[in-house]
Structure 1
Amino acid sequence: MRFTSQSVAALKAPTGKRYVLVFDEATPGFGVKVSEGGSRQWVVQYRDGAGKSRRTTLGRVEVMPLPKARDAARDLLARVRLGDDPRAEKTKAKTKPVETFGELVPRYIAHAEGRLRPRSIEAARQHLNGHFKGLHNKPVTEVKRADVASQLAAITKGSGPQAANRARAVLSAFFAWTVGEGIAEANPVSGSNRPAPAKARERVLSAPELVAVWKACEDDDFGRIVRLLILTGARREEVAAIAWSELDLPAALWALPGARSKNHRAHDVPLSQTALDILANVPHRAGRDLLFGLRANGFSGFSRCKARLDTRSSVTGWTLHDLRRTAATGMAELGVLPHVVEAVLNHVSGHKAGVAGIYNRASYAREKREALDLWAAHVMALIDAP
């Protein structure tokens, strides 16, 4: 039979037989072994240099997609024609020591750099070297689902279920990488229980809290970032890495490129006069396009600065992302229509989804400016109130 994902999934071992072998018509020698219990493995059958029939496995069907398995089979069969014996090589490879979890962490972090945001890379480093330090000496192929469950239970007990959820996501990404690299056959995090259901935050700062936070902001990079977050409803990373080249101050406009937005869509942010006043006080650093921080990716050190801001403002239990929700809620309470709030936040949903979103980008420019000007005026009225 000619293999397709559907035809392979439908295969079953005949009653009374431990397994059945079925081969692909499109790639002679490439097949699938289906056991009585339902497990499926990709196999390659060939003849070695002595003419003896050999069979070797490529991997489990649920882990290795058909196109990837077929390509691997063709590569292996090509090597056989050149005189290699993959089965002998596989046996030899089994005698090599398997890399430990801890040995692979630096390789994974190096792989993640350039693919993940700096903040995500740092979180991965902290979880893998901190929460999962107990796995470091264990061969990575010997980490089982029970080990994962035990580690997550310990994290839940020590740091809470939400921290355990985040650690679980990092561990799953790590093992997905090991599977992709051919180091491990399966991801032991798959199928493990989540420590807690994902919980959507609903924190919105009250008017007195917003005033306290604003007034506690100092005249430095972090203080300016926080105030711009309040005024624009933008995301933390977007403001932290804002560049002079993105700003058209005479036009009172910030053109956020798609490469820096979460949904990868370019986003025009109208700037209120209050936002322009803040930007006017940002010092220009010679040879540097970024407004804030000294690193290549913008401002860093949020945790330390946020802790000091909490102390000065006496407002706790909030995150910088809550300022985005506060701005959205505030605009809605001021009468801004929902689709305009979505446009301000650069949400691609509801009215902005699909082709309509492309055409509405320009038509919402006036509405977005009016909404952010209205919000800024409201914030300043709160700040200036006796």
Structure 2
Amino acid sequence: MRLTRSGVTNLTLAPGRPYQIFWDEALRGFGVRVNPTGKVWVVQYRIDGKSRRETIGRVDTVPLDLAREEARKTLARVQLGENPREERARAKAQRALVLEAVIERYLQQAKTRLKSRSLQEVERHLRKHWRPLHETPLSALDRRVLALRLEEIARDSGPIASNRARAALSALLSYALSMGLLETNPLVGTFKAGEEIRRDHVLTDQELQAVWTSSENSDYGRAVKLLTLTGQRREEVGSMRWAELDLPNALWTIPSARTKNGLTHEVPLSSLAVKLLSNTPQLVGRDLVFGAGAGGYSGWSKAKRDLDERIARSAALRPWRLHDLRRTVATGMANLGVQPHVVEAVLNHISGTRGGVAGIYNRATYREEKTRALEVWSEHVSKLTNGG
């Protein structure tokens, strides 16, 4: 019989039958199954000599024309050599494969080839910046979704964070492609948030003065000034502990667990740095100098945007980032006559002249040279900023 809307409505199940199928004469393989509990559309086909039957949907929810068209598509795929049941199972598995699960798989694999520091950075970007999409199936990540999220990251955390998050996700998606979890990389075609600041960017004296004078008497402002006075890394300053400081002897000792090269690093504190730290409030029961949470200082990006806005009210400043202060300190000390090996010692860089046993035995000597170098640099900063 040719299935029609009215004809299907009038179909009834013969007494004693558990179910009954009525096939459509217009499309072979398409029919309606009448059950005691209702009617459903079905499509039947053969693969590898075996008959397969699948349900399309309930008659009371799926119109006849739509059901017939779905059956036609299924039969066409079979003719083209596809297996609709396997395709649906694969699609279901892809829907269940959410981004967070792929992140876990990727990080396990990345442990074998990435250095610890690089792995930490990649993991931080994937877990933090892509968290809103963690429950999204990998197959649902299209270019539009990713581009919108990259815009959000750039707005909330800055263009550099957006570009780093993009790079981390790109590596993950390449891994997913290689494992057959994706057919294409949806990140292709999205753009970086903007041109990043050059790696050799050094602030001029006028720019350094603007940064210093615009830094408020806050955790962030004091951290920026310490970065300027010591030339140490952002995370080293942001996670500074009172237990690491010996203010009477003007010395800050960064333990090996917190340095990039895994070596304990002694940072002599200039008189200006000691003054700044002596005026920093110390919270009762809290060893961390900056911040209020479980870790050290957080909120760098927002505080940096606020600082840039204050600077813009009174001075012109090229695009910059906090790490430029470290480079500025190194360049500034060199311009003031500090020897290259002493600059390296201040920055905790290891060169051929400072590595190995010689570097260990010369630690005391370098302490004196570092002290003089940082004091000279501090005096320069003080002159620029009218006494700090």
Give the TM interval when normalised to the shorter protein. 0.5 to 0.7
> Who wins on radius of gyration, i.e. which is larger?
2
Alignment of structure 1 residues 145-294 onto 2, 5 Å: 166-171=164-169, 174=172, 200-294=198-292
In the alignment, the residues of structure 1 paired with residue 326 and residue 337 of structure 2 have an alpha-carbon distance, to the nearest angstrom, of 17
Q: How many equivalent pairs are there?
A: 281
Structure 1: any 5+ residue segments left out of the alignment?
1-90
Query: Is residue 272–residue 376 contact of structure 1 (8 Å, CA) maintained in 2?
Result: yes
1:336 aligned onto 2:328: no
TM-score normalised by structure 1 residue count: 0.59
In the alignment, the residues of structure 2 paired with residue 165 and residue 101 of structure 1 have an alpha-carbon distance, to the nearest angstrom, of 28
Q: Report SS of the residue matched to 2:285.
A: coil
Deviations 1:203-257 (A, max 9, x none): 2111122112111121111111011000000111100110011111121110001
Report % sequence identity: 44
TM-score normalised by structure 2 residue count: 0.59
Query: How far 1:308 moved relative to its partner?
Result: 1.5
Q: Report SS of the residue matched to 1:254.
A: strand
> What does residue 103 of structure 2 align with?
108
Query: How far 1:295 moved relative to its partner?
Result: 1.4
Q: 1:345 aligns with which of 341, 344, 347?
A: 347
In the alignment, the residues of structure 1 paired with residue 183 and residue 276 of structure 2 have an alpha-carbon distance, to the nearest angstrom, of 48
In the alignment, the residues of structure 1 paired with residue 241 and residue 104 of structure 2 have an alpha-carbon distance, to the nearest angstrom, of 27
* AA at the equivalent of 2:220: F
Query: How far 1:358 moved relative to its partner?
Result: 3.2
Alignment of structure 1 residues 8-157 onto 2, 5 Å: 97-100=92-95, 103-105=98-100, 108=103, 121-125=123-127, 127-129=129-131, 136-139=136-139
Q: 1:363 aligns with which of 362, 365, 377?
A: 365
Deviations 1:255-297 (A, max 9, x none): 0011111122111000011000011111121111101101121
Query: How far 1:109 moved relative to its partner?
Result: 6.9
Query: Is residue 98–residue 138 contact of structure 2 (8 Å, CA) maintained in 1?
Result: no
Query: How far 1:169 moved relative to its partner?
Result: 3.2
In the alignment, the residues of structure 2 paired with residue 275 and residue 110 of structure 1 have an alpha-carbon distance, to the nearest angstrom, of 45
In the alignment, the residues of structure 2 paired with residue 299 and residue 187 of structure 1 have an alpha-carbon distance, to the nearest angstrom, of 41
In the alignment, the residues of structure 1 paired with residue 217 and residue 197 of structure 2 have an alpha-carbon distance, to the nearest angstrom, of 34
1:318 aligned onto 2:302: no
In the alignment, the residues of structure 2 paired with residue 194 and residue 234 of structure 1 have an alpha-carbon distance, to the nearest angstrom, of 35
In the alignment, the residues of structure 2 paired with residue 366 and residue 105 of structure 1 have an alpha-carbon distance, to the nearest angstrom, of 50
> What does residue 71 of structure 2 align with?
none
Structure 2: any 5+ residue segments left out of the alignment?
1-85, 108-115
* AA at the equivalent of 2:292: L
Query: How far 1:352 moved relative to its partner?
Result: 2.6
> What does residue 59 of structure 1 align with?
none
Q: Report SS of the residue matched to 2:295.
A: coil
* AA at the equivalent of 2:348: N
Q: Residues 262, 188 of structure 1: CA spacing in aligned structure 2 closer, same or farther, 3 A cutoff? A: farther
Q: Report SS of the residue matched to 1:268.
A: strand
Q: Residues 325, 100 of structure 1: CA spacing in aligned structure 2 closer, same or farther, 3 A cutoff? A: farther
Query: Is residue 343–residue 368 contact of structure 1 (8 Å, CA) maintained in 2?
Result: yes
Query: How far 1:365 moved relative to its partner?
Result: 0.9
Query: Is residue 99–residue 135 contact of structure 2 (8 Å, CA) maintained in 1?
Result: no
In the alignment, the residues of structure 1 paired with residue 134 and residue 251 of structure 2 have an alpha-carbon distance, to the nearest angstrom, of 50
In the alignment, the residues of structure 2 paired with residue 241 and residue 368 of structure 1 have an alpha-carbon distance, to the nearest angstrom, of 22
1:374 aligned onto 2:376: yes
Query: How far 1:155 moved relative to its partner?
Result: 6.5
In the alignment, the residues of structure 2 paired with residue 289 and residue 110 of structure 1 have an alpha-carbon distance, to the nearest angstrom, of 36
Query: How far 1:360 moved relative to its partner?
Result: 3.2
Considering only aligned residues, what root-mean-square deviation do their CA atoms show, in Å?
A: 4.5
